[in-house]
A and B are shown apart, each in its own frame.
Chain A
């Protein structure tokens, strides 16, 4: 009998030994002369179970995890290849509650297929969205995306269809589609997972965007911290060209779309869209003034769609099943699904795709299983380094753009970082300012200088120097940063700082700690070059 066994190639799975498991498995299969092929799939997103090995059986895929090289001998001798029970056997993958309770639309194929197999992609419903789009007028494609209610998943939450309409209605000899794959927020990895686990869905989404607005050229701007994703995306683009899904005649339509993946160079700020465009043009990644919007004057001065990976990867299913199908998931003005990423001190860290409206508590406890350390949860940061710190009393907040905004927080890219009761929020507030100082592009004064002053003021507060006066000063400084910064980095850095003060005032009232050495070199003396 010819069998199939799956071992993920996702970088996170590899980071805990998936490559070694795949190699050992291949050796065992060869030496036992078995007719079984090892397929390197994407990750299902249940990272505490990685390396998660799946075996194809007549009743479905059977999961084993976390599998180590040492456990393989035993697993094979009890009959893992026939799906037999073992202490590491998790039952049918699809029945694992963490996965079963999800609503996977964007991630429908991720973890199921070989990410660089175009036939797997097409066999699992891939390129049906493009097929439909090719029969539609550009206005109709845009209308489907507007109807879906899809909002930018990068964090800003701007309606994707409205952005596309602006580009469609702007006359130009050249237009661009740019994918923002500079996923720099701590606690987020959904973009990386889709690029490593189902890259063709991103390519298809960008191709549909190009048809919708009349663009012929596209770029994926990918952060250099993701070398695995870079290799996978580059390979997938190569295959799409070979099979006629990219290039001069997209799927035999006579329409051109060229796509290239470009590497960033370690600057967080290049996740801001205008800074990203500067970087793609080969310049310092400094913010541009808006207006003009990139939709009117973007890359090389031409109308440009700049969308996040998940936004673009969601477009194929919207075109395939219709805008109304997608819109019927979610709550209020947050339509469709959110890709929640459970991170930090959480027992079951992983990706949860679910309609908007799940509460933080449900995400962290029902899916995440509480803290990894087993200690009480004390704080959660949602939305990356510019997101607010929430205390346990706000855990009933639904995951919805507006609900977070009402509580002076933001949903951002959907990353949830859990902290237990050992966290010191004064140190987290200091880190936020330090991060802002390291990553500021330097164009506007509030962010460039204010962030460094912020670190100094918080140091004084921690050291118990004129606390009341310095807390007031920090409040003023946050106001200047919020109102006076050009972009979201300086503009939102007061979220983590002020939420820490608001919800955890006791951490700013502790006796001054004894001096301890920090890590790394001081900002002034750090030598990057």
Chain B
């Protein structure tokens, strides 16, 4: 996202050490690094492993288990689109196809200009106002193809 900083090993090390004392510290550390840098740089793995007395494989295993964590940089804007049952019942599939076609990228991918990453999600808890999407942690309800277009237009204007 826009606020993400360049990878900085020293900053990462100090973030890790701020949190390493927590019981079960690995997820909080991974969230903190991804919030700061937009993704988890592979260079973070040995730093985390060292701080928590884990093997590199254990840290890698956790990063790759969870859908949220990513080794590669994502787009400036993260557009999460719900494709679970409640949104299906309100026709999310045609809206998703529309967004995929407009941005020229499938769910799970990032646009060539690095502006958008499309992520499939399974429920945003807005099921009375389906279809739902979340753009950079802001939730939207009753998202038709037109509403999705206006969200994308707006983000592109401020690019």
Contact = CB atoms under 8 A, between A and B. Distances in A.
Contact of A189 (B100, B107, B126): B126
A187 interface: yes
Contacts of B16: none
Nearest to A418: B89
Contact of A263 (B31, B64, B86, B132): B31
B5 to A, nearest CB: 20
Given A344-B130, A529-B71, A529-B72, A266 B85 contact: no
B112 interface: no
A417 B87 CA distance: 9
Interface string A160-181: 0000000000000000000000
A528 B97 contact: no
Nearest to A227: B137
A519 B107 contact: yes
Given A15-B129, A16-B129, A189-B128, A266 B68 contact: yes
Contact of B123 (A186, A283, A431, A528): A186
A428 interface: yes
Interface in A270-319: 279-286, 300
B124 to A, nearest CB: 5
A418 B128 CA distance: 10
A11 B126 contact: yes
B127 A189 contact: yes
A428 B52 contact: no
A435 B30 CA distance: 25
Contacts of A528: 64, 67, 70, 108
B154 to A, nearest CB: 13
Contacts of A192: 125
Size category of the binding interface on chain A: 35 or more
Contacts of B71: 529
Contacts of B125: 11-12, 183, 188-189, 191-192, 225-226
Contact of A266 (B67, B107, B128, B132): B67
Interface of B is mostly: mixed
Given A228-B139, A262-B28, A439-B122, A12 B107 contact: no
B128 A262 contact: no
A36 interface: no
B27 A262 contact: yes
B43 to A, nearest CB: 15
Nearest to A346: B128
Interface string B61-88: 1111111111110000000101111111
B129 A12 contact: yes
A286 B72 CA distance: 24
A224 B107 contact: no
A344 B89 contact: yes
B108 A417 contact: no
A184 B62 contact: no
Contacts of A225: 80, 121, 123-125, 134
Contact of B141 (A16, A224, A417): A16
A328 B121 CA distance: 40
Contacts of A282: 24-27, 52, 62
A450 to B, nearest CB: 19
Nearest to A345: B89
B55 to A, nearest CB: 12
A47 interface: yes
A433 interface: no
B142 interface: yes
B46 interface: no
A267 B66 contact: yes
Interface in B116-155: 120-130, 132, 134, 137-142
A208 B89 CA distance: 40
A54 interface: no
B89 A349 contact: no
A283 B23 contact: no
A33 interface: no
The residue among B31, B62, B86, B97 with the most chain A CB atoms within 10 A of its own CB is B86
A48 interface: yes
B103 interface: no
Contacts of B69: 265, 529
A528 B40 CA distance: 12
A50 B134 CA distance: 18
Contacts of A351: 128
Contacts of A263: 27-28, 31
A151 to B, nearest CB: 22
A428 B85 contact: yes
Contacts of A439: 122
A519 B106 CA distance: 7
Interface in A207-249: 224-228
A353 interface: no
Contacts of A227: 137
B90 interface: yes
B96 interface: yes
Nearest to A183: B125
Nearest to B31: A263
Given A282-B25, A521-B109, A265 B129 contact: no
25 contacts: A11-B125, A12-B139, A15-B132, A15-B141, A16-B141, A47-B128, A50-B129, A183-B123, A185-B123, A186-B86, A268-B122, A286-B65, A343-B127, A343-B128, A344-B127, A345-B89, A349-B128, A385-B84, A415-B127, A438-B122, A517-B97, A519-B120, A528-B67, A528-B108, A529-B71
Interface of A: 11-12, 14-16, 47-48, 50, 183-189, 191-192, 224-228, 262-268, 279-286, 300, 341-346, 349-351, 372, 381, 385, 415, 417-420, 423, 428, 431, 435, 438-439, 441, 517, 519-521, 526-529
5 closest A-B pairs by beta carbon, nearest first, are A349-B128, A282-B26, A186-B84, A344-B89, A343-B127
Given A16-B141, A282-B24, A344-B86, 17 more contacts: A11-B139, A14-B139, A15-B126, A15-B129, A16-B129, A50-B129, A186-B86, A188-B123, A224-B31, A262-B28, A265-B68, A283-B26, A285-B65, A439-B122, A519-B120, A520-B83, A520-B107
Interface of B: 23-28, 30-31, 52, 58, 61-72, 80, 82-90, 93, 96-97, 100, 106-109, 120-130, 132, 134, 137-142
